[in-house]
Amino acid sequence: MAIDLNKVRNIGICAHIDAGKTTVTERILFYTGKIYKVGEVHEGTATMDSLQEEQERGITIQSAATTCPYTFRGDDYKINLIDTPGHVDFTIEVERSLRVLDGAVAVFDGKEGVEAQSETVWRQADRYGVPRMCLINKMDKLGADFDFSFKSLRTRLGANAIAIQIPIGFGNDFKGIIDLMTMKAMYWTAEDQGVNVTIKDIPADLQDAAELWRGEMVEKIAEIDDSLTEKFLTDPSTITVEELKASLRRSVIGLKCFPVLCGSALKYVGIQSVLDAVVEYLPNPTERPDVSGVDPNDPSIQMSRPHSEDAPFSALVFKVVADVAGTLTYIRVYSGKLEKGMRVLNPVNGRKENVSRLYEMHAQNRTALDATGPGQIVAVVGLKDSFTGDTLCDQDKPIILERMTFPEPVISMSIEPQTADDKKKLGEALTTIRREDPSFRSNYNEETGETIISGMGELHLEIIKNKLVRDMKIGVNVGKPRVSYRETITGTAKDVRGLFKKQTGGRGQYGDAVVTISPITAEEAEAEELDMENGVVFVDAVPGGAIPREFIPSVEYGIRQAAASGVIGGYPVINVRVDLVFGSSHDVDSNQIAFEQAGAMAFREAFTRAGPALLEPIMKVVITTPDEFFGNVSGDVASRRGQIIDSEMRGASRQITAEVPLSELFGYTTALRSMTQGRAAASMEPLTYRQMPERLKLEVLANQ
């Protein structure tokens, strides 16, 4: 059965940790009839938080997908919904969700407004061009302030926010909301779990404020839509509600503005109006640009696929989950039709895959499907070689859709199995986790016999450790978390030779490469249109014939292998440009292996001559503390080699933004709580890499 794409919405709920995303999602599932009992995050019963870790910690760790029906003005709509984590350690979950969504609801805390992770999520959504609407939640919270939160959207995010609702009261006095389109007051009660809405006239004491807000709303909408500008300038009263809504929808889809709603998910206020706004203002799949990609045989050829069942099949894998029934692969279908039992191509690795089963997902539960089409988010079983970011497509009409970018891990720790049986199981388990989580890395160190796991933060690694021990029943011992440093150079080394020459009787080995290395940033590489791969730029500047063409890729491979394993401390090398400037070959003894060795030797020697330096990850830390503890907190930041970049008052609290080396932040949350009587909170995210002081560099290298 063909689905009317005009009646489909693919949306995500995203925000800073503790803004109420999962509670909003629970209410949406309840009002759309997907669940009949509302789960609560604080009780560990939220439907979308199905992992034991999530229920115990009261946070979302992995994005959960569900499909729910919604009836709006007599029409049946289908909403594919993804609840994403707010914690920065799981930012990859947000990244991959935004890649496949058509729209998003950004949730903000009514007291805090825009918080640190809100900015990160907003930037991610900007990168993927995702239309958004905003919900200022928790208006029932003590200290909630709609005006402050609304202004923070404009000042901190630079967003063209347009309020289409305002609250009736706030904190304990929060009663309902005023719809600025219809100029009516709306009330819900907890007794019937907010199922029924009561519509009344606006309270007299709020009439003037509502008129002011509505005037600003109409002006803002008319400002960005030429079709309304003239009407607004001549007689604003002639603009109808239908015209305003149609204009606002066009502007939201065009990323020109972001409508702002308010409510309290916990108290059942305003969530149905969020669902109405999703249908009214966020795009259906056909209103998004055609999905773009490249020809697998010639990446310089740009291609696209329309959102149509008649177009060749194309889909993007955005999540892989190990499941009792087999590996579940979540995909977003962009074009064509996918049927159960179909054979599809993964053009990224050239493998053909069998789709043995198709499911429509509801968190941990599922409904079997025979077929699906464009605009749908489904899970498939049967794929063996497809990972997050891979494309699935028609075997005869291949296309590689735009891939996702995954952040590099900033923290690592050693892990060792307790028994021989655990050792066998550990390798398989780490491979499974790597498939599920692209921001996780693991590698075996031959010299020390250690397995090193790397991730985005202390919490990330702790969750993975618990998963191994509790879910996969593997006995492991873990070391202390360690920082993932990087190596770079501060100067230039010219014409450094790497000569690999071996004569063992009979045919020998001969490779000769001369390189020049110099520092380069990602921005400089982009400006010069040079490809930077894993932090290293390779430039072939060999005069004709000095090295046979077939050996130049071998030199590059040798250089990249040497850069990946580091030179001074075994850490990956970044921000380095390597020019291959000269070399020589032997008619008989030269081969690929010899030139790989020559490239690696030249690189290592040049690196040691070019002023090697150690870079450490710097975190952006945002601390919210009562003002009385400002002195303690700022002194502590300074003692951790941190710099305070910004400080602003937010009511009685002060928000401090600082840049602090990651190595100084282990156990910081506990220390912060103890120095502020448990009243301060902090969030952090990777910011950049910076050069370490020489004394500390020597300390780190000595402890290798």
* pLDDT tens-digit readout, 625-642: 888 899 999 999 999 999
- How many structural domains compose the chain? 5
Q: Do 439 and 520 fall into the same domain?
A: no
Is 325 among the domain residues?
yes
Considering the chain, what is the average pLDDT of its residues?
85
Looking at the structure, do residues 280 and 349 belong to the same domain, yes or no?
no
In the chain, the percentage of residues whose pLDDT exceeds 70 is 91
Q: Is residue 423 part of a domain?
A: yes
- What percentage of residues in the chain have a pLDDT greater than 90? 39
- Final residue of a structural domain among 287, 308, 337: 287
Residue 345 is predicted with a pLDDT of 93
Q: What is the C-alpha to C-alpha distance for residues 571 and 502, in angstroms, rounded to an integer?
A: 29
Q: Residue 309 phi/psi, 5° resolution?
A: -70, -20
Q: What confidence tier does 55 reach under pLDDT thresholds 50, 70, 90?
A: very low
The three-class DSSP label of residue 428 is helix
Taking Cα atoms as reference points, which of 284, 335, 339 lies closest to residue 308? Answer: 335
pLDDT confidence tier of residue 50, bands split at 50, 70 and 90: very low
**pLDDT tens, position by position, 451-485:** 888 887 777 788 888 888 887 888 888 887 788 89
Tell me the pLDDT tens digit for each residue of 261-290: 999 988 989 999 999 999 999 999 999 988
Report long-range pairs for 323-329 (Cβ below 8 Å, ≥24 apart).
323/381, 325/381, 326/381, 326/382, 327/381, 327/383, 327/384, 327/435, 328/359, 328/379, 328/380, 328/381, 329/379, 329/380, 329/381, 329/383, 329/386
pLDDT higher than 90, residue 645: yes
Among all chains, which residue has been given the structure tokens 């590996």? 327
Q: Are 678 and 616 in contact (CB under 8 A)?
A: no
Nearest partner of 580 among 501, 669, 673, 512, judged by Cα: 512
Q: What is the arithmetic mean of pLDDT over 189-211? A: 89
Asked if 487 and 566 count as a contact pair (C-beta separation under 8 A), the reply is: yes
Identify whether 545 is part of a domain.
yes
Mean pLDDT lowest among 87-101, 412-426, 430-444: 87-101
At 123, which helix (H) or strand (E)? Answer: helix 116-127
Contacts of 637 (CB under 8 A, 6+ apart): 621, 623, 643, 644, 656, 658, 660
| Tens of pLDDT, residues 566-605 | 899 888 999 999 999 999 988 888 899 999 999 999 999 9
Residues 629 and 683 in one domain: yes
501-522 tens-digit pLDDT: 887 666 788 999 999 999 999 8
For residues 302-312, give the mean pLDDT.
Answer: 90
Task: Give CA 205 to chain center in angstroms.
Answer: 44
Residue 422: pLDDT band with limits 50, 70, 90: confident
Contacts of 537 (CB under 8 A, 6+ apart): 520, 525, 530, 531, 576, 577, 578
Among residues 556, 581, 610, the one where a domain terminates is 610
Average of pLDDT values for 609-618? Answer: 93
Shared domain for 72 and 195, answered yes or no, is yes
Q: Quick one: 22 and 141 in the same domain?
A: yes
In this structure, what token pair is assigned to residue 157?
């995010």
| pLDDT classification of 399: cutoffs 50, 70, 90 | very high
The pLDDT value given to residue 193: 83
Mean pLDDT (whole number) for 357-368: 77
The dihedral through the CA atoms of 208, 210, 216, 219 has a sign that is negative
How many other β-carbons are positioned within 10 Å of the β-carbon of residue 375? 27
The DSSP H or E segment spanning 251 is helix 241-253
CATH of the domain at 697: 3.30.70.240
Out of 264, 287, 310, a domain closes at 287
Flag whether pLDDT at 59 surpasses 60.
Answer: no
State the pLDDT confidence band at 133, using cuts at 50, 70 and 90. Answer: very high
188 and 115 fall within a common domain? yes
Same domain, 457 and 523: no
If asked whether residues 502 and 526 sit together in one domain, one would say yes
Weakest mean pLDDT among 223-237, 383-397, 439-453: 439-453
We report the CATH number of the domain holding residue 119 as 3.40.50.300
CA distances from 210 to 86, 228, 349, 627 (A): 33, 21, 58, 34
> What does the pLDDT read at residue 325?
64
Determine, yes or no, domain membership for 695: yes
Q: Specify if 585 maps to a domain.
A: yes
Mean pLDDT of 429-440: 82
* Strand residue runs (E) in 503-652: 509-519, 532-533, 536-540, 576-584, 612-626, 643-650
124, 154, 134, 130: which is closest to 254 by C-alpha?
130
The band of 90, judged by pLDDT with boundaries at 50, 70 and 90, is low
Kindly indicate the confidence band of residue 246, based on its pLDDT and cuts at 50, 70 and 90: very high
Residues 511 and 580 in one domain: yes
The answer as to whether 406 is a domain residue is no
| Separation between Cα atoms, residue 219 and residue 166, nearest integer Å | 17
Same domain, 499 and 603: yes
| Greater model confidence, 89 or 144 | 144
pLDDT at 36: 46
Both 49 and 70 in one domain: the answer is yes
Question: According to the model, what pLDDT value does residue 92 have?
Answer: 66
137: left (phi over 0), alpha (psi -120 to 50) or beta: beta
Give the structural domain span for 26: 5-287
585/81 Cα distance (integer angstroms) = 60
CA 382 to chain centre: 26
* Interval 363-377: pLDDT, tens: 557 788 899 989 888
| Confidence at 448, pLDDT banded by 50, 70, 90 | low
Q: For the domain that residue 426 is a member of, what is the CATH number?
A: 3.30.70.870
Do 466 and 389 lie in one domain? The reply is no
Chain segment 62-79, per-residue pLDDT in tens: 445 778 888 888 899 988
Looking at the predicted structure, is the pLDDT value of residue 49 above 50? Answer: no
**440 domain-assigned:** yes
pLDDT at 203: 92
If one compares 164 and 86, the residue with the highest pLDDT of the two is: 164
pLDDT at 491: 95
Residue 448, domain member (yes or no): yes
Task: Specify the pLDDT at position 84.
Answer: 67
The model's confidence at residue 43, banded by pLDDT at 50, 70 and 90, is: very low
